[in-house]
Structure 1
Amino acid sequence: MQQDKHNTSHNRGNHPQRLEAKPQDTLDLREFWKTLVRHKRMILVMSGATLALALLFTLGSKNVYRATATLQIERESTKVMNFDFLELSGDIRDTRDFYQTQFELIRSRALAAQVIKDLKLDDKLSSTSPLTSVKQWLGIASKPTEPSALENAFLENLSVEPVKTSRLVLVHYDSSNPEQAAQIANAVVATFQKMNTERRINTTDDAKTYLEASVKESKAKLDESVQRLDTYSKENSIIIVNDKIETTTSLQLNNLAADLQKVEKDLAEKESIYAILSDKTKPMTERVGALQENVAYIQTLLKNLDDLKALNAKAPNANLRKQIRQREDEVEMHINVKRGALPGEIENLKNNKRAFLESEAKAKAAAIQEQEKFIAYGTLRRQVEINQELYQDLFKRLNQVSIAGGIAANNIAIIDDAQVPLKKFKPNLLTNLSFGALLGMLLGISAAFLREFMDDTVKNANELERISQLAILGVVPEVLNNTPSQLAQLTIKEPKSSVAEAFRSLRTAMRFVLRNDNSVVFVTSACAGEGKSTTATNLACAYANAGSRVLLIDADLRNPSLHRTLDVHATTGLADYLQGNIDTSELVQATAFSNLSLIPAGKLPEDPSELLSSPSMKALLATARTEYDHILIDGPPVLGLADALVLASLADTTLIAVRAENTRMAAVTNALKRLRQANASLSGLLLNRVALHRGGSYGYDYSNYYYNDDKQTEAGAAKKGVVTTLRSLKLL
């Protein structure tokens, strides 16, 4: 029956509850903060070291003085040359490019060499850079003697600072000698102004020489083109009238066009008069109006006719009607005479029109033949005009360049000369210390995160559960300033401590895992030093304190420790029993704690794994099940040894102790892989020695909860305060 219970428990243990924590993909600021808290000692040490170095550097650096001169730089309002191919200095259209060019000219090597030469600074220059100061401390700095080295030392101390929203520029020079700083700053701005003027004059002289040659060449081309045009005009009888090209044919064509227009006008007029005179349906006054001769006489006849018609209308009689007919016949006679002469005139005009058209056609044919002459003449004339415009433009620019060369205006003005500085510019103690503290903090934080990234030890409970696929059954906080024997007995000797509460919680969790008594629990770890023996002892004490009969077996036959932690003196133990040297009556040893018995390891054998896998070990456990409520086995680490795999196969379940921030995650996974390959029943993990005050991500906190004890003395409270203070100082 007892064996059936063992099999049922073992089978149930093969399928432990596995809690899978979903990995966090989002940024967790709390994790960042906890990382900083865990490594705050390193951050503070690095910050302090950097701050100390900044202080030493500041105190050891020599004083540097800065002299400042002020320049006003204006862009040129007018250009001497407006041709792209003549702009020798470049056309800087963008204001930023223009001023940046001026700044670089101030810091040019040519200007530096000129100032060094003028002031004779060959042996008076000294660098003020921090790197040079460090080299001088080390005694490896050499004084610059070569021209390039002198220029480099000069330019290191020279800086240019534009004044925002203005055309002013501040020229700074740094030196350990305040008088030298002012002297060099003034020399720099004066030399820059002088070089700018010389550069403008040289540019004007070069442009003048170029323009003189261009004007001479353009004049020769103009004369040549004029001569060709004149020769061609004479050879082809081309005449210029009112700035228009004319020939004999073109003049004749123009005259014919005028005559033809006049004939066409007269012909149209005659035909119109003939049509009106021939149309008897029109009123007589309209027909008479078309006559151009004897108009006054005819108008008199028409007036007499109108008077007769008026009298006849008042008093009709035959005499008046006779007179009316006579007058009408007389007017009609004049109209017929004029109408009869018009056909001959019209025919003559038509003959003249035909003659003019024929003459015009002949003239147009001749003009077409002369068209090529006009085209050639136009080409020659345009060449003359182009050459003349170019010559005039170049001649105008030459005069402008000559005038500008005489003026020699400068767009650089010195506003303020540099004064001898009265206060040092650097080093600035407050600035250097602030920078050192900030740099040290940044370096410390970077080192902390680098260490965190490179460190794969167990620091997060959720991550440990996710990787191991096992539940964390308990978390034991770290306890300082205790011997191994004291740590092993904390559950009984200090029952109100956070460690005791942690193991009582572990005892409760194991009850839900095992579901029955008389079970065998194997306590191990991935590597040595992770607290497996302390875990086994405190868990046994927790069971014993609850009134259960507990047997603790020290099965670590390579490095036993339980007999020392429980203050048990034994010369024989498990190894002697398995070798058949003693019987069970001499095997079990009583301890100072009630309900807790111990089987020590005994004399260390040569092959522990063979002894642990012997039938005697199985028989011992079977006997222990009948006499004890709980059997706990403290065995060796899993990695590198076969003993742990043998003991795990004999136990109902295996509890793995993991030391926080010490055990590597790879070691845990490798140990679990070996145990699972041996078909061991795994109950879960115990996270041991958790430094909760360091801000770890373990999800448990025992540091802020205490039992209220009315009997707690003031001395105990003072002791707690002292311990807390010492712990804080240690962390710092």
Structure 2
Amino acid sequence: MTLINPVGGAPASGGVAGSAIPMLRQYWNVIWNRRLLIITVVATTVAAGLILTLLADPQYTARARIEVAREQANITSVEGVQPEDAGRDLEFYATQNALLTARSLAERVSRQLNLSRNDAFFIAHGVDPDAAAEGVGATPAGASLTSAQRRQRLVVDTLLKHVSAEPVRGSSLFDISYTSGDPALSRRIADAWVRQFIQSNLDRRFASTTDAREFLERRLDELRTRLETSERELVRYAAANNIVRLETSGTGKTGSSPGMQTLASVDLQSVNAALAMATADRVAAEGQLNASRARGVSEGSLNNLSINNQRSKRAEVAAELAGMLARFEPDYPPAKSLREELTALDASIAREERRAVSAVQATYDAAVAREQGLRARVDARLGKLNTQERALIQFNIYQRDVDTNRELYNGLLQRYKEIGVAGVGANNVSIVDAAELPVKPSSPNLLLNLILATFMGLGIGLGVVLVLENLDETVIDPSKVAALFDASLLGTTPVSESGDHYVELGDPKSSIYEAYFTVGSNLAFATDHGVPRSFMVTSTVEAEGKSTTGMALALVLSRLGRKVVLVDSDMRRPAMHNNLGLVNNQGLSNYLAGDNNWEDLMQRSPIANIDFLSAGPQPPSAAELLSSDRLQKLVESLGKKYDHVLVDAPPMLGLADATLIARAVEGVVYVVESERVAARGVSSALQRLREARGKVLGIVLTKFKSKHTGYGYGYGYGYGYGRDEDAKSETGGAWKSGS
């Protein structure tokens, strides 16, 4: 048995799902519920795909393969002539892929093959050139196109629609494919496409070198003019400041260029070298002079031949005199003669020595004079050099400008010479496989088209189902009842298997009786004292199963030993008396009009413990009768005699009857037919009941297709458990079919 929480409305277990169905399960339920629609859509798309495939003209695809090598070599360093970064392979090959499908390449192919005048080209593509060319239009500038121009543009558009370039993964190869209705034409265009791509690549390379060469020519003219101007400025400044530059093996002063010195600098160096030599001579002469003065005899005299000869002779004479004096007397005439000769030699030597000292002095004086003269010349040239060195600062600025301009000019001149061979290198694009003649059509592919049609049909079908599901406001999912209407779900009842609810209700083991027994059990939890003593059953519109629900609940309560009175309050369209096989001559309308007592109007039904008060004749205004206090008194009086007063009320939509009855009973059991009434209508009706101070005990979802909607496990399990198809209820014969 299934019980529900009367407050929150969530089912406790069993026949009413214990928790909200997961999202994926809900989607599956929606798909399963509308599976016939999806199957129909899929079958339609597959049939359409099959027909279109069989009617389509065969298409032939020719494929050529090329290799596009990454350019690594840099023939010249001029920016823009060759790629700079060899590592940007992804960008490079993406660019090549775009170039392979460029409009300019299609125009080259069209011109090469003269396709605009080739009728076979248009026939192979199923294009009427004259009719299609009329729709090409005008140029962006607004100028009209000639017929030939329109045909040419049509050819280019057609080529671009049927060509494809696909890179071969993990390589530098590209597959160029062309598809048309003529296999020979496809091969011709594929071959022409790759060859024109190679030629266009060469043309771009040549154009880039031409642009670079023109740029260098302009720059060379500018630098040549700048170089000549800077050289003239340098010469003018050098002439104005008497700056003469000489090539040397050393490095010039004050930032001078290596190997270059000024004339003043060279002159100063030579005079300074002469001064150094003169100073050395003066020092040497001064040393000789000082030595001669210190010893009285100049050391230089020792090197005088005349003095040396005289001294040698004096030594001989002195030796001879000494030997003679040893043997003779001093007055010995020969000795006397030797003394006179010795005296003469001494005088002669003295004279020679005086002349030698005078010569040393003269040498010293000459050295001093020469040194002083050279020092004066050095000082004069040093002043001139300082003046030129100051002038060299600006001179070097001019010189650097000249050097810079010359380097730039020479560098660009060298690049200009190199740029001439930049475009004659090997092409980086080569043909790997030429296009072959297709031997079988590439399309249409029957299997592929059927698969695509199947998936497309599934997509369309699912889309339609989701749209319809969102547009469908009826109640399908029992788990959403509580959230939608703020009322407890008392239970769900299935669709009648035989088509006659009342016959099936006579069988206690039938699924519909089991369902209503569950509703009655859950109704016992709607109040704190069990099943309400008085309650009414209503619905939004007619034929939702409210009368069946009222009859079934009365039957369930009667079989539990309760005395039940069933009141048909639908005075506009009474029908319950027919279901019970009773009459409707007099009834509720008579009592409310004050014509009879209710005891006189009561009928005993064929079912034990159930009495019946029919609706009675149709009054002029049922709402006026129901608004009287006699209805409240009737319910109170019946409640004293019977355990339960069950009122079968009219539907809510457009009538006030049910709201008037709701104030007289303890609660309302609201019946909602699954997949029929919009949730907005149900909510509106429930709101009217609540505003009339009617207590909604719960909702019964009738005619619920558990297997059809995909909620079979939670809402269908248990109905008919242990059911004996041959078992007959003892009261089964008392029920008659009715609406």
Q: TM-score, normalised by structure 2?
A: 0.71
The equivalent residue for 1:300 is none
Amino acid at match of 1:662: R
1:377–1:366 CA distance, 2 compared to 1 (3 A): same
Task: Work out whether residues 32 and 708 of structure 2, in 8 Å CA contact, stay in contact via their aligned partners in 1.
Answer: yes
Is residue 2:98 matched to residue 1:104? yes
Write out aligned runs for 1:137-156 (5 A): 146-156=151-161
The equivalent residue for 2:7 is 18
Q: Give the one of 389, 414, 434 matched to 1:417.
A: 434
Bigger drift between 512-521 and 547-556 goes to 512-521
Amino acid at match of 2:578: R
Q: C-alpha distance in 1, partners of 2:198/2:521?
A: 91
Is residue 2:412 matched to residue 1:394? yes
The equivalent residue for 1:246 is 261
The equivalent residue for 1:428 is 445
Q: Give the secondary structure class of the aligned counterpart of 2:672.
A: strand
1:592–1:686 CA distance, 2 compared to 1 (3 A): same
Write out aligned runs for 1:333-412 (5 A): 369-404=387-422, 407=424, 409-412=426-429
Instruction: Structure 1: give runs of 5+ residues left out of the alignment.
Output: 1-15, 266-351, 714-732
Bigger drift between 52-61 and 74-83 goes to 74-83
Is residue 2:676 matched to residue 1:662? yes
Q: TM-score, normalised by structure 1?
A: 0.72
Q: Give the one of 579, 604, 623 matched to 2:618.
A: 604
Q: CA deviation at 1:43?
A: 2.7
Q: C-alpha distance in 2, partners of 1:426/1:478?
A: 51
Q: CA deviation at 1:33?
A: 2.7
Amino acid at match of 2:56: S
Is residue 2:496 matched to residue 1:479? yes
Q: Give the secondary structure class of the aligned counterpart of 1:701.
A: helix
Bigger drift between 591-600 and 548-557 goes to 591-600
Kindly name which structure, 1 or 2, has the bigger radius of gyration based on alpha carbons.
Answer: 2
Q: CA deviation at 1:462?
A: 4.2
Is residue 2:469 matched to residue 1:452? yes
CA RMSD, Structure 1 to Structure 2 (Å): 4.3
1:596–1:26 CA distance, 2 compared to 1 (3 A): closer
Amino acid at match of 1:431: L
Q: C-alpha distance in 1, partners of 2:656/2:274?
A: 136
The equivalent residue for 2:188 is 183
Q: C-alpha distance in 1, partners of 2:40/2:204?
A: 58
Write out aligned runs for 1:507-546 (5 A): 507-513=520-526, 515=529, 519-546=533-560
Bigger drift between 419-428 and 255-264 goes to 255-264
Q: Give the one of 612, 632, 637 matched to 1:618.
A: 632
Task: Work out whether residues 64 and 190 of structure 2, in 8 Å CA contact, stay in contact via their aligned partners in 1.
Answer: yes
1:75-117 Cα offsets, whole Å, 9 max, x none, are 3343454223xx3788676333333333333322232223223
Q: CA deviation at 1:465?
A: 2.1
Q: CA deviation at 1:184?
A: 1.1
Q: Give the one of 175, 179, 188 matched to 1:174.
A: 179
Name the % identity: 28
Q: C-alpha distance in 1, partners of 2:225/2:462?
A: 80
Task: Work out whether residues 554 and 635 of structure 1, in 8 Å CA contact, stay in contact via their aligned partners in 2.
Answer: yes
Q: Give the secondary structure class of the aligned counterpart of 1:197.
A: helix
Task: Work out whether residues 71 and 170 of structure 1, in 8 Å CA contact, stay in contact via their aligned partners in 2.
Answer: yes
Q: C-alpha distance in 2, partners of 1:260/1:38?
A: 124
Q: Give the secondary structure class of the aligned counterpart of 1:631.
A: strand
The equivalent residue for 1:716 is none
Task: Work out whether residues 518 and 628 of structure 1, in 8 Å CA contact, stay in contact via their aligned partners in 2.
Answer: no
Task: Work out whether residues 265 and 385 of structure 2, in 8 Å CA contact, stay in contact via their aligned partners in 1.
Answer: yes
Amino acid at match of 1:54: G
Q: Give the one of 689, 699, 719 matched to 1:675.
A: 689
Q: Give the secondary structure class of the aligned counterpart of 1:650.
A: coil
Amino acid at match of 2:445: N
1:567–1:240 CA distance, 2 compared to 1 (3 A): farther
1:456-485 Cα offsets, whole Å, 9 max, x none, are 433444432245443322222233551xxx
1:370-409 Cα offsets, whole Å, 9 max, x none, are 444212221222222222222322332233233446x464
Q: C-alpha distance in 1, partners of 2:279/2:613?
A: 151
The equivalent residue for 1:52 is 47
Write out aligned runs for 1:521-600 (5 A): 521-580=535-594, 584=598, 587-600=601-614
Q: CA deviation at 1:421?
A: 0.6
Bigger drift between 585-594 and 250-259 goes to 250-259
Task: Work out whether residues 125 and 153 of structure 1, in 8 Å CA contact, stay in contact via their aligned partners in 2.
Answer: no
Q: C-alpha distance in 1, partners of 2:429/2:435?
A: 16
The equivalent residue for 2:111 is 117
Q: C-alpha distance in 2, partners of 1:28/1:245?
A: 93
The equivalent residue for 2:646 is 632
Q: C-alpha distance in 1, partners of 2:276/2:579?
A: 143
Amino acid at match of 1:237: I
Is residue 2:518 matched to residue 1:505? yes
The equivalent residue for 2:327 is none
Q: CA deviation at 1:173?
A: 0.2
Q: CA deviation at 1:46?
A: 2.6
1:18-71 Cα offsets, whole Å, 9 max, x none, are 116699999743333333333333333332222222222222222111001111
1:474-503 Cα offsets, whole Å, 9 max, x none, are 222233551xxx224532x22211110121
Q: Give the one of 61, 73, 78 matched to 2:73.
A: 78
Q: CA deviation at 1:245?
A: 4.9
Instruction: Structure 2: give runs of 5+ residues left out of the alignment.
Output: 12-17, 137-149, 249-257, 281-369, 728-739
1:231-280 Cα offsets, whole Å, 9 max, x none, are 43333323234335534654577679989999999xxxxxxxxxxxxxxx
Write out aligned runs for 1:175-254 (5 A): 175-235=180-240, 236-242=242-248, 243-247=258-262, 250-251=265-266
Q: C-alpha distance in 2, partners of 1:69/1:149?
A: 24
Amino acid at match of 1:392: N
Task: Work out whether residues 39 and 448 of structure 1, in 8 Å CA contact, stay in contact via their aligned partners in 2.
Answer: yes
Q: CA deviation at 1:450?
A: 3.7
Q: Give the secondary structure class of the aligned counterpart of 2:121.
A: coil
